[in-house]
Amino acid sequence: MSYLFSVRGTTKAEAREKVALELAGVITNQPLHQADADQASAAASAFINLLIDDEARDIVVSVHGSIRVTDTGPIEASCGISASLQPRELKI
């Protein structure tokens, strides 16, 4: 089972919170990801924390992951993270 999502936040804390909410949704739809959600969240937080603080730009985070599980448990897991500063979107 696999997933992919992107979030945008104005602060590091907001970006981490949005990642956590998305991962919670992934678990709701694909309960197998309970096994790797903590690791994906920790990895996303680590990459978010690498970014400089810049109040003029948004933090955009993309996360994708997959897991293969058999009757004995996980046999394959992967995760990819991208975190970047992007021009702030203007609210109209």
d(CA 75, CA 84): 31
pTM: 0.92
The pLDDT, as a whole number, for residue 80 is: 98
The pLDDT, as a whole number, for residue 89 is: 74
The pLDDT, as a whole number, for residue 68 is: 94
What residues contact residue 27 under an 8 Å CB cut-off, 6+ apart?
Answer: 33, 34, 37
- Phi then psi dihedrals of residue 60, to 5 deg: -115, 125
Tokens of 48: 């978010």
d(CA 7, CA 23): 11
The pLDDT, as a whole number, for residue 8 is: 97
The pLDDT, as a whole number, for residue 39 is: 96
The pLDDT, as a whole number, for residue 90 is: 73
